[in-house]
Chains A and B, each alone.
Chain A
Amino acid sequence: MMRRWIFPILAGGLVALGAYQATLLATPYALMYAALQKIGGAGEVNRFAFSQMATADNQPIVRPSPDLSYSTCVFDLSKGPVLVDVMPVPGRYWSVSIFDARTDVAAVRSDRDTQGGPARLALMRQGQKAPSGYEPVLLGYDRGLALIRILLANPSEFPVVDAIRRKSTCKQLPTSN
C-alpha cells in the first residue's frame, strides 16, 4: 500500500522545490511589472513623468522617501535605443538609476559621477548602437524604469527643483533610415 505512494511523493517533492524556486524567481518580474503598470499607466512610455513629492496620500511605490523628488520614465527598447538626458541640479545629491525588468540596477549615475554635469545615457539591447556623447547602458530586457532622484533639504525648494528637472528628457532614438 505505502509503496504505491513512494514515487508520487518523490515527484511531489521535486514539484514543491520547483514551485518554490519558480515563485522566488517570478516575484521580482511580477512586482516590477505591476510597478511599471502603475507608474507608466498614466503616461506614455519613453517619456519622463514628474511626480509630486511623496506624502501619505501620494505613494506610487512602496517605501517612498518624502525628501526626494522622483521622476520616472518607463522605457521600452523594442523599437531601438532610448536616450536619457538628466539636467543637473546644482549643489545637491541627485542620481539617475536604470532598473531592468528583474528589478536589478543596470546603471546609476549621480552628481558625484558627473561632477555636477548632466548625465547622458543610451539604454540599449545587445547589438544596438549608442549615438556619440551618450554612455551606453546594456539591458537584458526591453522594458524597465529610469528613475531620477533629487534630494530636497526642505519642501520649500520644490518649485525651483521642479523647474530644473522638467528639462530632463527620456526619448526613443529617432531612426535614421
Chain B
Amino acid sequence: MKAWHRYAITIALALAGGTAFAVNQVRGGLNDGRVSNGPWETGKSFGTVDASALTRAKVALSGLMALPAKEAMYFTATRDSDGRALDGRCTYDVRGGKLDGRWWSVTLYEGEGWLVKNAANRWSVPASAVVADTQGKWAFTVSPDAQAGSWLPTGSVKTFDLTLRLYHPSTDVIKNPEKGSLPVIERKGCA
C-alpha cells in the first residue's frame, strides 16, 4: 500500500466520521446550556450571538427564527412531572398559576416540532382559553379524547412535547428560569 493510500483512507474516514458525529450531536436535542424547571427545559441563548456553534445549529434545526429571551421564553417538556415520556395515548392534567410574564400559550408538537392533525383543529391552549380561580390557578387537559373544559388533543401520536411560550417574561424569569413557577404535568391514565 502506498503512503497516499493510507492518507486517503484515514482522511475519507475522518471526513465521514466528523460530519456524522456533528449531525448526530445537532439532532440529539437541545441539551447544550439547558436549564430545567420541573418537567420544563429552556436555554438561555436562543437566537443570540452568544450561542455556541452547537447551540446555534440545534436551534436552527428545531427552533428556527426563535425570539431572544427578552421577547419570549420557550419552555419545552418531553416528560411529565414524574419523569415519564409524554405519550399521546395518555391523558394529562396541566395545572398552573399566574405565570411571570405578559402572556403565555402551550402548544403540542410531535417529532422535531410539527403540529399534530386532530379532529378538533386545536394545537395550543393560550392564556385566554383557561379559567383562573380566585387564586389565579387554572388547568387544562391533554388527551387523545375530547374532554370537558379546556382540552388540548394529542392526536394519539406515540410521543409529543409541550412548548410553553412566555411573552415578555419578567427579568426574574429571564435571569433565573429554573426558579419561576411553571405548570405541573400530571399523567391521569393511558388508553
**What residues of chain A have their CB less than 8 Å away from a CB belonging to chain B?**
4-5, 7-9, 11-21, 23-25, 27-28, 31-32, 35, 54-57, 59, 61-67, 93, 95, 97, 99, 102-105, 108, 110, 112, 145, 147, 149, 151, 153-154
24 contacts across the A-B interface (CB closer than 8 A)? A8-B3, A13-B14, A16-B17, A19-B18, A19-B22, A23-B19, A23-B26, A24-B54, A27-B22, A27-B26, A31-B61, A35-B64, A63-B163, A65-B105, A66-B124, A97-B71, A99-B65, A103-B47, A103-B59, A103-B60, A103-B64, A104-B49, A105-B48, A145-B65
Least Cβ distance of B26 to chain A in Å? 6
Contact residues in A for B56 (Cβ distance below 8 Å): 24, 27-28, 102-104
A-B contact count (CB 8 A): 166
> B6 touches which one: A8, A28, A61, A63 (CB < 8 A)?
A8
Question: Judging by beta carbons under 8 Å apart, are B68 and A105 in contact?
Answer: yes
> B115 touches which one: A64, A95, A154 (CB < 8 A)?
A64
Contact residues in B for A27 (Cβ distance below 8 Å): 22, 26, 56-57, 60-61
Least Cβ distance of A158 to chain B in Å? 14
Question: Judging by beta carbons under 8 Å apart, are A147 and B65 in contact?
Answer: yes
User: CB of B165 within 8 A of chain A?
Assistant: yes
Least Cβ distance of B102 to chain A in Å? 6
Given the known A-B contacts A27-B57, A55-B115, A59-B114, are A19 and B14 also in contact in the complex, defined by CB atoms under 8 Å? Answer: yes
Question: Judging by beta carbons under 8 Å apart, are B128 and A153 in contact?
Answer: yes
Question: Judging by beta carbons under 8 Å apart, are B60 and A28 in contact?
Answer: yes
Least Cβ distance of A152 to chain B in Å? 8
Contact residues in A for B7 (Cβ distance below 8 Å): 7-8, 11
User: CB of B148 within 8 A of chain A?
Assistant: no
Residue in A closest to B52 when the chains form the complex, CB atoms? A24
Least Cβ distance of B44 to chain A in Å? 14
> A104 touches which one: B9, B47, B53 (CB < 8 A)?
B47
Q: How far is A108 from B47 in the complex, measured between Cα atoms in Å?
A: 11
Question: Judging by beta carbons under 8 Å apart, are A31 and B64 in contact?
Answer: yes
Contact residues in A for B22 (Cβ distance below 8 Å): 19-21, 23-24, 27
User: CB of B131 within 8 A of chain A?
Assistant: no
Question: Judging by beta carbons under 8 Å apart, are A62 and B113 in contact?
Answer: yes
Question: Judging by beta carbons under 8 Å apart, are B18 and A16 in contact?
Answer: yes
Contact residues in B for A63 (Cβ distance below 8 Å): 62-64, 66, 109, 112-113, 163
Contact residues in A for B66 (Cβ distance below 8 Å): 63
